[in-house]
Structure 1
Amino acid sequence: MGFLDKVFKRNKELGYSFDLDFMDLFAKKSERIHMKRLAIETCISFLARTVSQTEFRVKNGSEYVRNELYYRLNTRPNKNMTASTFWQKFISKLIYDNEVLVIQANDGDLLIADDFYHKKYAVYEDRFTDVIVRDYEFKDSFKQSEVIHLKYGNEKLSNLLDSLFYDYGDLFGYILKGQKRKNQLRATVDMDMLAAKSGEKQAKLQEFIDNMYEAVEKKDVAIIPQQPGFEYKEQSGNGIAGQSVDEINKVTGGYLDQVAVAIGIPPSLIRGDMADVEKQTKNYMFFSVSPLLKKIKEESDVKFFTKKELLNGNCIETRKPSYRDIFDLATAVDKLVSSGVFNGNEVRSELGKETTDEQIHKEYFITKNYQSGKEAIEGGDNE
């Protein structure tokens, strides 16, 4: 029995030691988690800020109307959020959690769910239960037709980023430790233990050593008085080679680039590079922002309008934020109108401006440069 007691005691000690090792490993990982949070917040916020500048216009046939729905989508979705804040949170949850749920309260407020349970059916409408907004849980269940529910991809982005961070986090930690060791202050202390046999003398010696280390660590100039039986020798860094700060920045930047690529943002835009910025922005708007806005439009159309209303021309249209100055397009606009391809209202619609009832914006014009020789001559004779 005594032998078994020793075995059980030894196993208990091993388990306790393992727990300490695990907690130490977790703490080390947590110290480097800022690299992951910085990359994710930078990329998701970048995309969310872009989408939040979108204007969601309500189209009633051939006209655009400013009604309650327009107000909810563009000004005040609910009592506690502006439209820009609402859409930033919407995009953040959609990308990081892979899905987002928006419900409509009894007073018309649009609320983003922080948590919910999605019950799926094969031939019936899906239902959403246990919907939590902030600290309030809704008791009712919501049908698929009563909510805005979007999924971003086939797999949670957070799972991909976690696996990617595992390798980058280790590499970042190794480089950071090497950089700390590079210029680390190192010293040795020689003590005559015969001079500190008593407990009182040992306590005073320990206090002296603690004060000395604190002075060396925190003060620019530290004066250490010589003590009998005590000698302090500083070894400095001994020329230990380590990675430069540039290596740390490269690892951090590499992880940031991988996160940006996963979301669909050109890394050069995140870094603020000025080379080919217009081309990169165009690709970003076409391949990342436009598909995301199309998902939001399609989901909003079927939830805010009936089938009959949609067939009659009622829908939600998204006006994307323009990345080009309207004056830079003046020459192209002139060519489109003067060639008779577009009228004024059609050009205004493409530029994101509302159409007008002015007759001049409804007519088509063809200048002499685009007329045939006979038409140009006849036009000249008439004039």
Structure 2
Amino acid sequence: MKLPFLNNVLAKREPSPSSSITLKDFTMVYENDAKYKNYALQIAINKLADALALCEFQTFENKKPVQKDNWYLFNIEPNKNQNQSEFWSKVIYKMVYDDNGALVIQSKEGEFVVADDYDISEFAFYENIYSNIVLPGDFRLPGTRKESDVFHFKLHNSEVKKVIDSVYDDYGKLIAGTIRNYNRGNAIKMKLNIGAIFQQFKNNIVTKEDGTKVTEYDQVMDDMFDNRFKGIFTDQDSVTPMEEGLNLDPISATPGNTKSGSVTTRDISNTFEDIRDMVADAFGIPRGILKGDTADNEGMHKLFVNYPVRSLADNLQSEINRKLYGKNEVLKGNKLKIQTNMINTHDPVEFANAGEALLRVGAYSPNDILRKLGEETIDEDWAKVHYVTKNYERTDNLKGGDETNEEKSNSKSNQN
């Protein structure tokens, strides 16, 4: 099944608009100001993309799971140049970084491609119109596309990125100040005392190789700062010349995070942890997931899957079903379903009792259990069937049990 506009002409090669900003340009422009924020955002995007890549995009026909073209596109190869993991990673990246969300176009061959840039005209009672669509490789699609012709994925809260940007305005300045304090606190700072004897060289005039005349005092000082100190100092280090009779004392020491008051990298990392926690909270991801904590790993993993991942999967699933299949087909049981429970891994031994219980009540077929364990399914009819191995009955359909030996004996005596 394909989106309805597949018979339209393919894209032609044209240069992108000069206003379009590539990821490389974005990094170059904002590298100094937003690199810590972008790093925290990228961690969150990677976590969500990795989780989504582990999900199975199940496709159904007449309410029965099938593995045909759409299943292959969503689970293996959305297009010739990307696998499933790369494709969904870019989708999520665009959902976060692009204010308008991620736009996915289907090619004439049925492949899915994420647009690099586009414009959108929104309406209340008519379909939105997408124009100036630029695909990877600077391919610009001619004409426009209607809402029903594309997949348009947006975060439930499209303001998340703006809120993070706003809060980071202050944190970015705080990090810059912390780094400056670190460099200043750990740099070499020396005072060069200039005695009265050396001051006498100001009266001696010498001629330099280029013919200019300077005092011997200036010549020695220039040589000292330009040449002799180079082997000792770096860009952050400094020497201050002080004439005899002058003295410089610090007004107050710069506070640090150690008993001695010195500044360490912990100041910087602690501030970054605040930014990382802020991003985690914005996306509903447990803070320990982004940090890589192992304490209560199982509990955090469940929260991660049950909230941000399932919410994201539902968002994608709804958009795909309403555009690719449509109302009539979905009501018939022709649809796509993203199985987030495939993210969890199960130990065969630990899962044995639960698997046996799920099998005997008819909840899972043998193949369903194999999928849970990450094993290959069996291409046999009996492995696809659901079994009920216990005599479960409804309360309004209960039947009497077998007679006991005593009851049988009494019944036989009565007959005699």
Which TM bucket (shorter chain)? 0.7 to 0.9
**SS of alignment partner, residue 129 of structure 1:** strand
Counterpart Cα distance in 2 of 1:80 and 1:206:
59
Query: Where in structure 1 do 4 or more consecutive aligned residues deviate above 6 Å?
Result: 235-239, 352-355
Q: Which residue of 2 aligns with 1:264?
A: 284
Residues 1:335 and 2:357 aligned together: yes
Q: How far does residue 148 in structure 1 lie from its aligned partner after superposition?
A: 0.5
Residues 1:195 and 2:197 aligned together: no
Q: How many equivalent pairs are there?
A: 337
Q: How far does residue 313 in structure 1 lie from its aligned partner after superposition?
A: 0.9
Q: How far does residue 45 in structure 1 lie from its aligned partner after superposition?
A: 1.4
**SS of alignment partner, residue 269 of structure 1:** helix
User: Quick check: 283-292 or 306-315, which moved more?
Assistant: 306-315
Given that 2:57 and 2:75 are in contact with CA atoms closer than 8 Å, whether structure 1 keeps it comes out as yes
Q: How far does residue 373 in structure 1 lie from its aligned partner after superposition?
A: 11
Counterpart Cα distance in 1 of 2:399 and 2:111:
62
**SS of alignment partner, residue 79 of structure 2:** coil
Q: How far does residue 367 in structure 1 lie from its aligned partner after superposition?
A: 7.1
Q: How far does residue 155 in structure 1 lie from its aligned partner after superposition?
A: 3.5
Given that 2:367 and 2:384 are in contact with CA atoms closer than 8 Å, whether structure 1 keeps it comes out as no
**SS of alignment partner, residue 358 of structure 1:** helix
Q: How far does residue 282 in structure 1 lie from its aligned partner after superposition?
A: 0.6
Counterpart Cα distance in 1 of 2:73 and 2:186:
58
Structure 2 residue runs without a partner (length 5+): 1-27, 207-212, 235-242, 258-264, 393-397, 405-416
Q: Can you list the C-alpha shifts for 1:142-200, whole angstroms capped at 9, x where unaligned? A: 11111101221344333112111112122222322222232331112244344144435
User: Quick check: 326-335 or 102-111, which moved more?
Assistant: 326-335
Counterpart Cα distance in 2 of 1:331 and 1:30:
53
Residues 1:344 and 2:347 aligned together: no
**SS of alignment partner, residue 48 of structure 2:** helix
Identity %: 24
Q: Which residue of 2 aligns with 1:68?
A: 69
Distance verdict in 2 for CA 1:288–1:251, change over 3 Å:
same
Q: How far does residue 93 in structure 1 lie from its aligned partner after superposition?
A: 1.0
Counterpart Cα distance in 1 of 2:191 and 2:383:
91
Q: Can you list the C-alpha shifts for 1:77-121, whole angstroms capped at 9, x where unaligned? A: 122211110011011111232511101122222111111111122
Q: Can you list the C-alpha shifts for 1:26-77, whole angstroms capped at 9, x where unaligned? A: x9x9535322121111111111121122221221124332322222212221
Q: Residue 209 of structure 1 is aligned with which of 225, 228, 235?
A: 225
Given that 1:297 and 1:316 are in contact with CA atoms closer than 8 Å, whether structure 2 keeps it comes out as yes
Read off the aligned partner of 1:37 and give its amino acid letter: N
Q: Residue 172 of structure 1 is aligned with which of 171, 175, 186?
A: 175
Q: Can you list the C-alpha shifts for 1:327-353, whole angstroms capped at 9, x where unaligned? A: 232222223334x35353695498388
Counterpart Cα distance in 1 of 2:295 and 2:383:
44
TM-score using structure 1 length: 0.77
Q: Residue 161 of structure 1 is aligned with which of 133, 157, 164?
A: 164
Q: How does 1:305-344 map to 2 (within 5 A)?
A: 305-320=325-340, 321-327=342-348, 328-338=350-360, 340=361, 342=363, 344=365
TM-score using structure 2 length: 0.71
Q: Which residue of 1 aligns with 2:113?
A: 111
Residues 1:57 and 2:70 aligned together: no
Given that 1:59 and 1:314 are in contact with CA atoms closer than 8 Å, whether structure 2 keeps it comes out as yes
Q: Which residue of 2 aligns with 1:242?
A: 255
User: Quick check: 55-64 or 198-207, which moved more?
Assistant: 198-207
Structure 1 residue runs without a partner (length 5+): 1-26, 219-229, 379-383
Q: Residue 290 of structure 1 is aligned with which of 307, 310, 315?
A: 310
Q: Which residue of 1 aligns with 2:24?
A: none
Q: CA RMSD in A?
A: 3.5
Counterpart Cα distance in 2 of 1:279 and 1:256:
20
Counterpart Cα distance in 1 of 2:320 and 2:370:
21
Distance verdict in 2 for CA 1:39–1:236, change over 3 Å:
farther
Counterpart Cα distance in 2 of 1:354 and 1:295:
29
Given that 2:76 and 2:83 are in contact with CA atoms closer than 8 Å, whether structure 1 keeps it comes out as yes
Q: Residue 186 of structure 2 is aligned with which of 173, 183, 206?
A: 183
Counterpart Cα distance in 1 of 2:383 and 2:31:
66
Given that 1:183 and 1:237 are in contact with CA atoms closer than 8 Å, whether structure 2 keeps it comes out as no
Q: Which residue of 2 aligns with 1:101?
A: 103
Q: Residue 274 of structure 1 is aligned with which of 276, 281, 294?
A: 294
Counterpart Cα distance in 1 of 2:292 and 2:61:
41
**SS of alignment partner, residue 217 of structure 1:** coil
Counterpart Cα distance in 2 of 1:182 and 1:306:
64
Given that 1:43 and 1:270 are in contact with CA atoms closer than 8 Å, whether structure 2 keeps it comes out as yes
Given that 2:132 and 2:140 are in contact with CA atoms closer than 8 Å, whether structure 1 keeps it comes out as yes
Q: Can you list the C-alpha shifts for 1:269-321, whole angstroms capped at 9, x where unaligned? A: 11121221111111110111011111111111122214332222111121224
Q: Can you list the C-alpha shifts for 1:246-268, whole angstroms capped at 9, x where unaligned? A: 23221111110111110111011
Q: How far does residue 326 in structure 1 lie from its aligned partner after superposition?
A: 4.5
